[in-house]
Every structure is written in structure tokens, then in C-alpha cells.
Amino acid sequence: DADVTQTPRNRITKTGKRIMLECSQTKGHDRMYWYRQDPGLGLRLIYYSFDVKDINKGEISDGYSVSRQAQAKFSLSLESAIPNQTALYFCATSDFSGVPQHFGDGTRLSIL
Amino acid sequence: AQSVSQHNHHVILSEAASLELGCNYSYGGTVNLFWYVQYPGQHLQLLLKYFSGDPLVKGIKGFEAEFIKSKFSFNLRKPSVQWSDTAEYFCAVNARSGNTPLVFGKGTRLSVIA
């Protein structure tokens, strides 16, 4: 079984819809992250959480929200999706070092 | 704020050629430095990391990187590339304390041709 599981793997939806991307991990790590990847732009941090009670905005948090339901679960929501949020989204975890070492397989999100 | 620059957007090499990918960072304090690799269709994997000590760091699959503090650089090298090294490579940095998340460069796509 994968250490970091993202669901769904692919999603196509329409502008204005609410979308939730889910991430669960079996590493027992406290720290979890959401990134988006766009061609030529690398990975940009959306939100991160150092423990269940700690949520922090990343570089590009506008238009996104997150929920840390438990140590193992960290969900990303798009309240009202827009086409420029079309991207590949990765969840990652890390130990106390703060170095993401375990990435999920990604969710490819297309917003029409 | 931290930033990372990767100068090469796309590098094309023949098998057995030597590789050097550039990475420069901007940060006012002490940093940790990393290289990640993303094979086609896969997620990122940590290739190597530098926290302190010997500035020449060896990673998996024959890769190494050298931290040159005076140049704010952390270039990735491999003496002889293989077709299987075709991937995208990302340099990343965070503060030495580890309490700031990583900042990634925009990536360098490496294509190795037989």
C-alpha cells in the first residue's frame, strides 16, 4: 500500500463547482503539505500543516482551503473552481525535519 | 524570502555524457538544500540533501551535488547519464531550522537520448 494516498487521481469538473481533494498517509508524520504543479512553474505550496491544530498558508493559498481532520488526513478544497486552477496537485508528508519526503501520486484536476 | 533559480529549462544529452544542472538560491540565513527527481508520470522523489558538513553530497543513482556557499549554489552532477535518467529535476531550499516549508525551483527537464 502507498504511504501517501490521494483521491481522486483524476477529476474533470466545471467552473463554479466545489471540489475536495483528499490525502491520507500511513507514515505517522505530523507534517503535511499541499502543492500544485504547473508546467514550467515547478511546485508551489498551497497550504501546510505541522500538526492537527496548525494550518498555514503557503505561497498561493487564494481560492483554496484545507482541513486537517486527523494526523493522517489533510484535505484540500476549491470552494468555487476556476479554469486557472487546472493543475496537478500533490500531497506530501514529512517528519520533524520539514523536508517533504513522501509524496502522493498526484491528482490531475481539469476545470472547464 | 527564499527563492530558487534553476537556469536550464530543458537539457538534452546523449547517453554517457556528463551532467551538471545549475541551482542558485537566495536566502539571508543558513539553509538546507535538496534535489528531487520526478520521472515521467510519477511523483517527486528525494535525490539528495545537504544540511551541513561536507559540501559534496552523494545521493542515489550516482548523483552528487556540491554546495558552494560563496556562490549560493548547489549544482547537481552525474559523470555519465543513462537513458533512465530522463526526468524532471527540482532544486529546493528551506531554512536550517526546518520550520519553514521548502521552496522549489521551476525545474529542469532532462532528456537523455540513446
The per-residue pLDDT for B78 is 97
Instruction: List chain A residues with CB under 8 Å of B98.
Output: 96-99
Cα dihedral B89/B95/B100/B101 (nearest 10): 0
- Confidence tier at B1 by pLDDT (50, 70, 90): confident
- Confidence tier at B11 by pLDDT (50, 70, 90): very high
Can you spell out the DSSP letters for B68-114?
EGGGTEEEEEESS--GGG-EEEEEEEEETTS-S--EE---EEEEEE-
**Which chain B residues have any C-beta within 8 angstroms of a chain A C-beta?**
6, 9, 32, 34, 42-46, 49, 90, 94, 98-107
| Inter-chain CB proximity B99 and A98 less than 8 Å | yes
Can you spell out the DSSP letters for B16-43?
T--EEE--EEE-SS-EEEEEEEE-TTS-
Q: Does A70 touch chain B (CB under 8 A)?
A: no
The per-residue pLDDT for A40 is 84
Buried b (16+ CB within 10 A) or exposed e, B28-40: eeebbbbbbbbee
Helix (H, G, I), strand (E, B) or coil at A59: coil
pLDDT tens-digit map of B28-74: 788 999 999 999 988 889 999 999 999 999 999 999 999 999 999 99
Cβ neighbors of B10 (< 8 A, separation 6 or more) are B108, B109, B110, B111
Whether B98 shows a pLDDT value over 70: the answer reads: no
Q: Which of B43, B96, B103 is best to mutate for the A interface (most A CBs within 10 A)?
A: B43
Do you find a cis peptide bond into A8, omega within 30 degrees of 0? yes
- Confidence tier at B91 by pLDDT (50, 70, 90): very high
CA distance B110 to A54: 37
Contact criterion met (CB below 8 Å) for B29 and B97: no
Contact criterion met (CB below 8 Å) for A32 and A48: yes
Whether A1 shows a pLDDT value over 60: the answer reads: no
The per-residue pLDDT for A53 is 92
Cβ neighbors of A66 (< 8 A, separation 6 or more) are A34, A46, A47, A49, A55, A74, A75, A76, A77
Q: What φ, ψ does residue B69 adopt, rounded to 5°? A: -60, -40
Average pLDDT over every residue of B72-91: 96
Burial of B1 (0-12, 13-18, 19+ CB in 10 A): exposed
More confident: B94 or A85: A85
| Inter-chain CB proximity A33 and B101 less than 8 Å | yes
Contact criterion met (CB below 8 Å) for A101 and A111: no
The per-residue pLDDT for A9 is 95
Q: According to DSSP H, which parts of chain A are helical? A: none
The per-residue pLDDT for A99 is 75
The per-residue pLDDT for B97 is 73
